[in-house]
Every structure is written in structure tokens, then in C-alpha cells.
Structure 1
Amino acid sequence: MRIAALFPGQGSHSVGMGVDIAAAFPPAGETYATADATLPGLRALIEQGPPEDLTLTANQQPALVAASVAAYRAWAAHTGLTPAFAAGHSLGEYSALVAAGALDLVDALRLTRQRGELMQAAVPVGVGAMSAIMGDPAVVQEVCASMTGTVQPANFNAPTQTVISGEKGAVEAAGAELKSRGLKAIALKVSAPFHCALMQPAQDGLTPALNAATFHVPAFPVYANVTAQPNTAAAALPNLLARQITGAVRWVETIHALHAAGTDVFIEFGPGTVLTGLVKRILPDARTLNVGTAAQVQDFVL
């Protein structure tokens, strides 16, 4: 049974996420303790909120890493199972690398805190925007390329769902053009235009920290967002993570690549079921499971 471990990105958070797992399974409790020692106050924010503070990009990113890694470590210890592959959606790539032993949890928490701060500061509020487009991704790419100003595909989430990101006016103009061609455009409530060229200051700011961090050879291949390909080279990781900030999340290609590599079951670790839903849209017959609560760890059966 070849398992692909999946780790969610921003938007999957909730107050109280993983608290029951941390209480029931020592590896998860230790993960939360490490998170709080590294970023004091983070555990209380996860457990108690308030929601608006947990939602802040600089808090949400390390909090999701802590919750996702806690769920994974509890599951791994309880079941004795090891994935064949891993992948994370945007921020989730850091959780995947921790699970694979390629990045220390403390470094991942510090990097994602800095990543969140830099991404939030890269573009003034109101300057950028993101929209979810329902329709042919080839049309989305064509229209984005034809626009004046910065607008580009940011997330290829599902066969007919592509998120675009960029300058507010360019995103709105692209959305209007796409609607005129029969596609659907839905403006997203986001704090910044992620995964586009406007994030270049964040990429530049995080690159020195990524280059200074210690990376190890992953215990199993981790599929990178920007290439949709498996990586087992420690030296490649800083560049892949830096490029991810301005590059598109190639999730559809990633899931197809995992399937082609022989994945039998996709397991989403951490809060929510966003990735499970996307996998089902990409591969309707795929077997999917979720590990985000103590009961799901305790009752896990392949």
C-alpha cells in the first residue's frame, strides 16, 4: 500500500485544531510544546484564538505547520506506517518536508513565521487581489497573458478551478474577460495576492533565511509545488521553496504525478478536508482519508 501524505495550506485553520490529538498522543503533544517554545504564545492562539489573530498570515502559517505535523507524527507513531511520497499545498510543503525529515520543525516554524510576515508586507492592502476561476485553465492562462498589468495563475487546484492573483485592476479585468468567454470568476477574500510576481519582495526577503537553514535528504520524495515533481535532493530545497512564493501551485499536475507513481491512497494530515476534496475532483476514483482528529488517528484503518 503506497501512501501519499498531503498537507494543507492557508485557509484550513480553525481555533482548537489538533488540540485533542496533542492531548491524546505524546508525539503530537511534543510537537505543540516545541511550537510554543519556538514561537511563544502560538499554542494558546491555536487552542483559544481569537480567530482573527489566528487568521493573520504570520500566525496562521506556523500554526498550520504545527497542527499538520502533530497529526502526522501521532498517526506515524500509532500505526507504524510510513508514506511512499508527500506533498503540501503552498505552505503545506513545509509540513511535508518536516514529515520527511528534510527540515527540522523549529526551522520550519521560524521560516513560516518569517514567510508570513514577508508575504503580508510585500503588497499594501487593497493593491492586490485574487479570484477563483471556474473553467478551462488554458483559457485562464491565455487571458492572463493578454492583460495589461500583473495577473497570473496562482493555483491550479482542480481541472476546472484555477486561482488568479495580481494587481487588483488586472485581476478584475481578467475576471471580466473570462466571464465574457463563459467562465465563472469569484473574488476571494485574501490579505494579499499570493503566488504571483508581486510577491517578489517576499521571495527576496526569505531567500537568505532559506539558504541559511539546514536541509536533509528526505526519507521519501516530496513533490514540489513549482515543479510538480518529486525531489530527494536536500540542496535543491531552498531554491524550490523560494520560487514557490512567486510561482504557481501546480496541484493538479502533482496529484496526477503521485497517481502515476503508484499511490494507492491519499491521506490529508491536519485540519479540514480541502485537499481531499481537490483530489476527488482531480481523480474521482482515488481513495482518500483524513487524519485531523484524535479519533481519526485512533480508528485509522487502511
Structure 2
Amino acid sequence: MKIAALFPGQGSHAVGMGADLAAAFPEAGEVYSQIDTVLPGLRTLIETGPLDELTLTANQQPALVAASTAAYRAWRAHTGLTPAFGAGHSLGEYSALVAADALSLGDALRLTRRRGELMQAAVPVGEGAMSAVMGDPATVQEVCAALDGVQPANFNAPTQTVISGTKAAVEAAGAELKARGLKAIPLKVSAPFHCALMDSAAQGLAPHLQTTRFAPPAFAVYANVTAQPNTEAGTLPALLTAQITGAVRWVDTIQALGAAGAEVFVEFGPGTVLTGLVKRILPDARTVNVGTAEQVRAFAL
């Protein structure tokens, strides 16, 4: 049975995530031990909080990579299974690459810490915004194309698209979309991710990506910006750089995984965001969550 391994992005975090896995499975425990070596203090923050500090982009990004990797490695050790494909939502693409042995955990933690710092610093607080739009994505694209300073950031589900940009442009787009019968809901975010305003973050991270050692993924990892499978190490720095300002093509990614033969979609890490989106994209798909020690032990195909 072909398994697609999915890894969540920002917003799925919680204080204590992965702690039971680290206690129950040596493979997960090794992940959490490595956090202390690479980013001292982060493990304590993950395990005990406070939540507001863990939520900071520079902390949340590496913390989620660690929690997702711990869940994945515990599952691999317990089941002996290997995915046929992998994909991650935004930040989750780094977790997918760690799972596919294309990127070391230590490098992923360092890169996502720097990525978070750069993304948070790219736009002064209050100048950017994001909104979730419910309705036809073609209409969303048309409205954004007619306005400067706003663009689609996440194609999450067939009728859910997130837009991102300057506060004024996102508000103008929201008003126009509402006039056309769509629903635009402002999101509480620390910065306008996946839009042109993140260009300085992309330029700042690019040198770090270019000097990082990547290996060919052991299984195809679908890139956010192309929604296409990738097994080439040499393309990864450019894909991960483009991801910072480009849209997350999640609907296309899940549809492509289904077309490639994925039979079970397993979300590794805290939360159930991605399994919910998969059900909206492929209603008949089988989904499983693996984020706790109990879920690892209970896993069955």
C-alpha cells in the first residue's frame, strides 16, 4: 500500500508536543536530545512553554520540524514501513526532506530557525496581513491580479485560498471578494507569508541553503511551488528559496499524490490540519494522524 507522508506547517504547534514520543521511543528521544545540541533551550520551550514564546516564528518553525521528525522516526521504527511519497505544507517541506534523508535534522533545525528570524523581520508588524477566502480560487486570483501588493499565498482546499500582502491591499481584496459573494476572513498572523513582501527573507536564506549539504531524497518529495515530485538534490536550494515568496500549491500537490497512486495519507506531527485538507481535496482518501505515542502504537494499514 502506497503511503504519502505529510508534514504540517505553522499553526499546528502545542506546548508538550512530542514529549510522550521522546519518552516512549528511543528514535524520538534522540531527536529531542539533538535539539539541545543544535538550538539550546528550544527543547525546554517545546516541553514546558510558555505558549506565546513557542508561537514566535523563529521558535515555532524548528520546534515543528523536531516534533514531526520525532513522530516520523518513531513510526518508522515501530512499523518498519517506508512512504512512497512525501510532502510538507510550507515549513513542513523541511520535515519532509528530513524524513526522506535529503536534509540532516541538525541542518533543518538551523535553517528553519534562520528562516523564521528572516521571515519575521521582513515586514514591520502591522504593515502586512493575510486573509482566508472561501470561494472560487479563480475569482481570488483574478481579484489579486488586479491589485498591487496582494497575491494568493496558500491554495489549501478547493474553496479555501489564503491571500497575503500589505494590509491595505489585503483589505481592498477582501472588500472586492465580498462584493463578489466570497467570504474573506482576516487571519491572526505575525507576518504576511508567501508573498513578495518576503523577498528579503528569501534573499537572506538563499546563501544558507546554497551552502547546505542536500542528498537525493530517498522517496519523491513534492515541492510546494511546483506541486511536482522531486528526487534531485541540486534543485532543493532554489525550490526552498522560491517557496518563501511563492504560493503553497497544496490542492495541486494532494491531487498529484492521488494521481501517482497514494492510497493512505499519514500526517506526522501535532494537529490534524493536513488530514482535514486532504479530505476536502480527495473526499474518499484514507487519512491517519501520527503525532502521539498512542497513535504510533495503534497504527495499522
User: Smaller-chain TM-score range?
Assistant: over 0.9
Q: Superposed, which structure 2 residues align to 1:162-241 within 5 Å?
A: 162-241=161-240
The 5-angstrom pairing of residues 136-151 of structure 1 reads 136-147=136-147, 149-151=148-150
Does the residue aligned with 2:235 lie in a helix, a strand or coil?
Answer: helix
AA at the equivalent of 2:172? A
Within 1, Cα distance between the matches of 2:276 and 2:136?
19
Match of 1:53 in 2: 53
Shift of 1:36: 1.5
Equivalence for 1:63: 63
- Give the corresponding residue for 1:291: 290
Secondary structure at 2:289 match in 1: strand
Which TM-score applies when normalising by structure 2? Answer: 1.00
**Corresponding residue number in structure 2 for 1:44:** 44
Residue of structure 1 in register with 2:26 after alignment: 26
- Deviant stretches of 4+, over 6 Å: none
| In structure 1, C-alpha distance between the alignment counterparts of 2:69 and 2:259, rounded to whole Å | 26
Structure 2: distance between partners of 1:159 and 1:274: 15
What is the root-mean-square deviation in Å for CA atoms of aligned residues?
0.3
Residue 15 of structure 1 aligns to a residue whose secondary structure is: coil
Provide the residue aligned with 2:82 in structure 1. Answer: 82
Q: Name the CA distance, whole Å, in 2 between partners of 1:81 and 1:35.
A: 25
C-alpha displacement at 1:104, in angstroms? 0.3
Aligned-pair CA distance for 1:277? 0.2
Residue of structure 1 equivalent to 2:113: 113
Counterpart CA distance in 2 for 1:94 and 1:50 is: 25
Aligned to 1:257: 256
The 1-side partners of 2:225 and 2:34 are apart by 29
User: In the aligned structure 1, how far is the partner of 2:257 from the partner of 2:67?
Assistant: 24
Shift of 1:35: 1.2
Read off the aligned partner of 1:171 and give its amino acid letter: V
Q: What displacement does 1:282 show?
A: 0.4
Q: Report the Cα offset of residue 126 of structure 1.
A: 0.5
Counterpart of 1:166 in 2: which secondary structure?
strand
| Partner AA of 1:251 in structure 2 | W
Give, in angstroms, the shift of residue 75 of structure 1.
0.1
Q: Deviations over 1:159-207 (max 9, x none)?
A: 0000000000000000000000000000000000000000000000000
What's the secondary structure of 1:235's corresponding residue?
coil
Structure 2: gaps spanning 5 or more residues:
none
